[in-house]
C-alpha cells in the first residue's frame, strides 16, 4: 500500500487507528495534499486554514513523507531523494507543541525513519571554556556576591546538564552572568578549544546538520536569512520551509533585516570592558589602565552624542522621530575612538600566549568594531530603501535607540527566500482578506508565483458563536471622548450579563488605561477580577491568573489580539472596542504608506484596510478554540455597518449567529 497523506490522515488512516477519539477533518486532508503537491512540484503555497483544521499535522505529515521520498523509489526512479525541511513558528508554545507532542506521535505511527531537532540560537548554549575563564576572572568581573554565586551554580550544572542550553538551567541567570559564559561566534576557538569534544553547541550543531526536520522560531529563521545575504549562515541548506503563524512574517523579517543601536547597548559594551564605579571589567583583569581611561572618554562622548540626538528629536517635537536625511549638526564622536579602542585591544591580545584569554579580548574588540559600523551606517543612512528613526528605549524611555528597517521586505524575501528555496509554504488562520483574496499578503511578502488555498474551520460557528454589532454606538472618529464613554457603558452591561471570563481588546494603550482607571471601582464593587496589560505582571503570568480566576475580565492591546489560547469557561466573551486600523504615527508605517502613495496607490485601501481586516480576524479567533467552546463576540465600532468598507470585515469572519443588541 502506498503511504500517502490519505493513508495517514484519512477516516481509516494510521492516526484514526491509533487514536480512539480522532475526528477526521476533510480540510486537514485537503491542506496536506496541497502541501505535498507544492513539494513535489517545487512550488510555493499560501494556505489560510481556520481554527481547528489541525494545520500542524497537515504540513508535518507531507513534509515527513517527503523528507525521505519513498514514492520516487517505488516508481523506479532510483534512490530515494532526501529533503531537509524547516518548520518556523512565531510562538514558543507552538514550537513546544510540535517538538514535544506532534513530532513524537508521528514518529511512532509512521513507518519511515526521520529525525527532528528543535534549533536554538547559539547564545542559548553554555561555553565550557568561557565558563571556566569567567570563574577565574570572577572577582574582576563582578562587584557583588550574587553574580559570583550564580557563576558557581552554572559551572556545577555544566557537569550534569544533558544539552547545556539555558532552558535546562533550573534558575534564570542574570543577563550579565550568562553573557560571560554563553557560546559566541566571535569568541570561539573551534577545534583548537580544549573543551571542543564536550562542546554543547557543536553537539547541537551536529544534530541539526544531520536532521531531516528542523523546528525553529521566526527570529532565528530570518536572522539566518539576513546572514545569508552576507555569505554566512546559521542553518544548513534546506529544500522546504513551512512558515506557520505566517501573518507575522513581514514584521519579523523587517526587524531582522534592519539595524538598531542604542545608548544602553553602548553603555553595556563599555561597562563589560571597564566599570569606573565598581572598578570591574575585562580591562581591569588585564591591568590595562590607559585603555580604561579611553573607555571613560568614549562613555563621555557617547553621553554627549545621544544628548545631541535627543535635542534633535526635541527640536522636531511634531515629528514621530523619523529621520529623513542625515542629522544636521550632530557629529559622531563615538565611532573613531571605538575603532581605536578595538585596535589597541587586538594589539595587546597578540602578546598573550593563552588562546582562551586572547580570544576573549579579540571578541570584545569585534563588538566595538560592530557597534562603530552600525553607528556609521545609521548616521550616514547607508542602507537604501530603508526608513530611519529615533525612539526612546529602556525603562521609562531613559535610553535612546537608533533604528533602521527596510520599507518593503518583499524584494528581499523574493530574492533570498522564494527564488532560492524550491518550496515555501505559508500558513495561518488569518491570511486572506474577504473570500479567497490573498493579494495583500502576497504583495507585502513579494510572493507573486504561488498557489493559494482558503480552508474554513470544521467548527460550527453558527451554533458555537454569536456576533453582536452595536449599531447604536457613536462613530469613534467624530468625537473620541463621547465614544470612549459609550464603550465604558457597554462594557458594564456586557460584563454584568455573564459570570464567565471576558476579553476586551483595545487598539490604543491610552484608551485602555483610561477605561481601566475609570472602571476599576465598578469592578471592585462587583468583585470581578480586572487584569490590565502593561502593569507589573508579565503578560504570560497575567494570562495564567486570568484563566484561573472566576469571571475575570482582561483588558489587552496589541499582543493579546493574537497567539493567546484560552479554551473553556475562562473565556466566553470577546469585546472588540474598535476596528484595529493602524494609526500612521510610527515611522515605519508612515514610510510604507508614503511609498504606496508615491507609486500612485491608495494607502488606506491597499494597506491599512487589509491589515485591519486580518487583525480583526485574529481578535475574533480568540473566542472559539475547540469544538466545545461557545460564546459571543461584541464589536463596538459601528463603522462595520455604516461604512462601505465595513462589509469586508464581516465577510472575512466565519458565518456565525448574529445579534443586533447587547442583552
Is residue 236 in some structural domain? no
Whether the CB-CB separation of 85 and 212 falls below 8 Å is answered with yes
pLDDT band at 565 (very low <50, low <70, confident <90, very high): confident
Are 478 and 400 part of one and the same domain? no
CATH number for the domain that contains residue 553: 3.40.50.300
Are 465 and 598 part of one and the same domain? yes
Find how far residue 329's CA is from the centre of its chain. Answer: 36
pLDDT band at 663 (very low <50, low <70, confident <90, very high): low
CATH number for the domain that contains residue 329: 1.20.120
Q: Which single residue is written with the C-alpha cell 546538520?
A: 209
Mean per-residue pLDDT for 366-394? 93
pLDDT tens figures, 250-261: 999 999 999 999
CATH number for the domain that contains residue 84: 3.40.50
Are 430 and 392 part of one and the same domain? no
pLDDT at res. 71 = 47
Mean per-residue pLDDT for 228-255? 94
143: Cα within 13 Å, side-chain hemisphere: 12
Beta partners for 81? 69
pLDDT tens figures, 466-508: 999 998 999 999 999 999 999 999 999 999 999 999 999 999 9
Are 654 and 506 part of one and the same domain? yes
Whether 440 shows a pLDDT value over 90: the answer reads: yes
Are 599 and 551 part of one and the same domain? yes
Are 507 and 384 part of one and the same domain? no
Is residue 654 in some structural domain? yes
Please give the model's pTM, rounded to 2 decimal places: 0.92
Q: Please provide the distance, in angstroms rounded to a whole number, between the alpha carbons at the two ends of the chain.
A: 57
pLDDT band at 315 (very low <50, low <70, confident <90, very high): confident
pLDDT tens figures, 514-532: 999 999 999 999 999 999 9
Are 350 and 450 part of one and the same domain? no
pLDDT at res. 72 = 44
Whether the CB-CB separation of 375 and 261 falls below 8 Å is answered with yes
Are 474 and 402 part of one and the same domain? no
Q: Label the pairing between strands 240-243 and 116-118.
A: unpaired
Is residue 185 in some structural domain? no
* Dihedral over alpha carbons 62, 63, 65, 68 (to 10 degrees): 160
Q: Label the pairing between strands 68-69 and 81-82.
A: antiparallel
Query: Which of 372, 389, 406 lies at the terminal end of a domain, its last residue?
Result: 406
- Grid cell at residue 420: 532560492
pLDDT band at 355 (very low <50, low <70, confident <90, very high): confident
Mean pLDDT of the chain: 92
pLDDT at res. 317 = 64
pLDDT at res. 77 = 47
Mean per-residue pLDDT for 290-297? 96
pLDDT band at 46 (very low <50, low <70, confident <90, very high): very high
Is residue 131 in some structural domain? no
Whether 48 shows a pLDDT value over 90: the answer reads: yes
Are 344 and 435 part of one and the same domain? no
Highest mean pLDDT among 1-10, 13-22, 203-212: 203-212
Q: Which single residue is written with the C-alpha cell 495564567?
A: 544
pLDDT at res. 75 = 42
Are 286 and 349 part of one and the same domain? yes
Q: Which domain holds residue 108?
A: 5-115+410-455
Whether 201 shows a pLDDT value over 80: the answer reads: yes
Percent of the chain having pLDDT more than 90? 79
Sign (positive or negative) of CA dihedral 635, 636, 637, 638: positive
Mapped to the 3 state alphabet, what secondary structure does 20-82 carry? CCCCCCHHHHHHHHHHHHHHHCCCCEEEEECCCCCHHHHHHHHHHHHHEEHHHHHCCCCCCEE
Beta partners for 453? 47
pLDDT tens figures, 115-132: 999 999 999 999 999 999
From the list 302, 308, 323, the residue with the least C-alpha distance to 372 is 302
pLDDT at res. 80 = 54
Are 527 and 636 part of one and the same domain? yes
Mean per-residue pLDDT for 435-450? 93
Query: Which of 420, 455, 490 lies at the terminal end of a domain, its last residue?
Result: 455
Mean per-residue pLDDT for 31-60? 96
- Grid cell at residue 532: 490590565
pLDDT band at 538 (very low <50, low <70, confident <90, very high): confident
Q: Label the pairing between strands 213-217 and 85-89.
A: parallel
Whether 584 shows a pLDDT value over 80: the answer reads: yes
Is residue 196 in some structural domain? no
248: Cα within 13 Å, side-chain hemisphere: 21
Are 520 and 431 part of one and the same domain? no
pLDDT band at 301 (very low <50, low <70, confident <90, very high): very high
- Grid cell at residue 360: 576573549
In 142-262, where does DSSP find H-type helix?
A: 145-157, 175-181, 200-210, 218-228, 249-256
Whether 653 shows a pLDDT value over 70: the answer reads: yes
- Grid cell at residue 321: 522621530
Whether 81 shows a pLDDT value over 70: the answer reads: no
pLDDT band at 139 (very low <50, low <70, confident <90, very high): confident
From the list 176, 163, 96, the residue with the least C-alpha distance to 125 is 163
Is residue 249 in some structural domain? no
Whether 27 shows a pLDDT value over 80: the answer reads: yes
Whether 230 shows a pLDDT value over 90: the answer reads: no
Is residue 165 in some structural domain? no
How many domains does the chain contain in total?
A: 3
Amino acid at each position: 500500500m502506498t503511504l500517502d497523506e490519505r493513508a495517514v490522515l484519512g477516516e481509516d488512516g494510521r492516526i484514526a487507528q491509533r487514536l480512539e477519539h480522532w475526528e477526521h477533518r476533510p480540510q486537514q486532508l485537503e491542506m496536506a495534499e496541497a502541501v505535498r503537491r507544492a513539494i513535489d512540484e517545487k512550488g510555493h503555497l499560501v494556505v489560510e486554514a481556520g481554527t481547528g483544521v489541525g494545520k500542524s499535522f497537515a504540513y508535518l505529515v507531507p513534509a515527513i513523507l517527503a523528507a525521505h521520498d519513498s514514492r520516487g523509489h517505488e516508481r523506479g526512479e532510483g534512490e530515494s531523494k532526501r529533503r531537509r525541511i524547516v518548520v518556523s513558528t512565531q510562538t514558543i508554545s507552538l514550537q513546544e507543541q510540535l517538538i514535544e507532542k506532534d513530532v513524537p506521535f508521528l514518529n511512532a505511527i509512521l513507518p519511515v525513519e526521520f529525525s527532528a531537532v528543535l534549533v536554538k540560537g547559539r547564545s542559548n548554549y553554555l561555553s565550557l571554556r568561557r565558563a571556566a575563564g569567567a570563574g577565574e576572572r570572577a572577582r574582576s568581573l563582578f562587584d557583588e556576591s550574587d553574580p559570583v554565586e550564580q557563576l558557581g551554580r552554572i559551572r556545577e550544572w555544566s557537569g550534569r546538564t544533558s544539552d547545556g542550553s539555558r532552558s535546562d538551567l533550573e534558575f534564570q541567570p542574570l543577563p550579565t552572568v550568562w553573557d560571560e559564559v554563553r557560546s559566541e561566534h566571535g569568541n570561539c576557538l573551534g577545534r583548537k578549544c580544549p573543551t571542543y569534544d564536550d562542546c554543547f553547541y557543536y553537539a547541537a550543531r551536529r544534530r541539526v546538520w544531520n536532521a531531516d526536520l528542523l523546528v525553529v522560531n521566526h527570529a532565528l529563521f530570518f536572522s539566518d536569512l539576513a546572514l545569508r545575504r552576507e555569505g554566512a549562515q546559521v542553518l544548513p541548506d534546506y529544500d522546504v520551509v513551512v512558515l506557520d503563524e505566517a501573518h507575522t512574517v513581514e514584521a519579523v523579517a523587517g526587524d531582522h533585516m534592519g539595524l538598531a543601536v542604542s545608548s544602553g547597548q553602548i553603555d553595556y559594551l563599555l561597562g563589560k570592558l571597564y566599570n569606573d564605579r565598581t572598578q570591574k571589567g575585562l580591562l581591569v583583569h588585564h591591568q590595562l589602565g590607559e585603555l580604561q581611561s579611553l573607555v571613560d572618554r568614549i562613555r563621555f562622548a557617547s553621553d554627549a552624542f545621544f544628548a545631541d540626538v535627543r535635542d534633535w528629536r526635541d527640536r522636531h517635537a511634531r515629528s514621530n522621530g523619523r529621520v529623513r536625511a542625515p542629522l544636521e549638526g550632530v557629529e559622531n564622536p563615538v565611532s573613531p575612538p571605538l575603532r581605536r579602542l578595538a585596535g589597541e585591544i587586538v594589539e595587546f591580545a597578540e602578546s598573550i600566549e593563552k588562546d582562551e584569554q586572547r580570544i576573549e579580548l579579540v571578541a570584545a574588540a569585534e563588538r566595538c568594531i560592530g557597534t562603530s559600523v552600525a553607528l556609521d551606517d545609521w548616521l550616514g543612512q547607508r542602507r537604501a530603501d530603508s526608513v530611519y528613526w529615533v525612539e526612546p528605549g529602556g525603562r521609562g524611555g531613559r535610553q535612546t535607540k537608533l533604528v533602521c528597517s527596510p520599507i518593503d521586505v518583499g524584494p528581499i524575501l523574493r530574492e533570498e527566500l522564494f527564488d532560492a528555496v524550491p518550496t515555501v509554504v505559508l500558513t495561518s488562520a488569518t491570511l486572506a482578506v474577504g473570500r479567497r483574496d490573498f493579494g495583500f499578503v502576497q504583495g507585502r511578502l513579494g510572493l507573486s508565483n504561488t498557489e493559494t488555498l482558503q480552508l474554513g474551520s470544521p467548527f460550527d460557528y453558527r451554533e458555537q458563536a454569536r456576533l453582536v454589532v452595536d449599531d447604536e454606538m457613536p462613530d469613534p472618529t467624530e468625537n473620541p471622548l463621547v465614544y470612549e464613554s459609550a464603550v465604558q457603558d457597554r462594557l458594564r452591561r456586557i460584563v454584568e450579563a455573564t459570570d464567565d471570563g471576558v476579553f476586551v481588546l483595545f487598539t490604543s494603550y491610552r484608551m485602555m488605561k483610561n477605561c481601566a482607571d475609570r472602571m476599576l471601582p465598578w469592578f471592585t464593587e462587583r468583585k470581578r477580577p480586572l487584569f490590565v496589560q502593561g502593569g507589573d505582571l508579565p503578560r504570560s503570568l497575567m494570562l495564567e491568573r486570568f484563566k484561573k480566576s472566576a469571571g475575570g475580565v482582561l483588558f489587552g492591546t496589541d499582543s493579546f489580539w493574537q497567539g493567546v489560547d484560552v479554551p473553556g469557561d475562562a473565556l466566553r466573551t470577546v469585546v472588540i472596542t474598535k476596528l484595529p486600523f493602524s494609526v500612521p504615527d510610527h515611522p515605519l508605517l508612515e514610510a510604507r504608506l508614503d511609498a504606496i502613495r508615491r507609486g500612485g496607490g491608495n494607502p488606506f485601501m491597499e494597506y491599512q484596510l487589509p491589515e485591519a481586516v486580518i487583525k480583526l480576524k485574529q481578535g475574533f479567533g480568540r473566542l472559539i478554540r475547540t469544538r466545545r467552546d461557545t460564546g459571543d463576540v461584541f464589536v463596538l465600532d459601528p463603522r462595520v455597518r455604516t461604512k462601505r468598507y465595513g462589509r469586508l470585515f464581516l465577510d472575512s469572519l466565519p458565518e456565525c449567529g448574529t445579534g443586533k443588541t447587547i442583552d
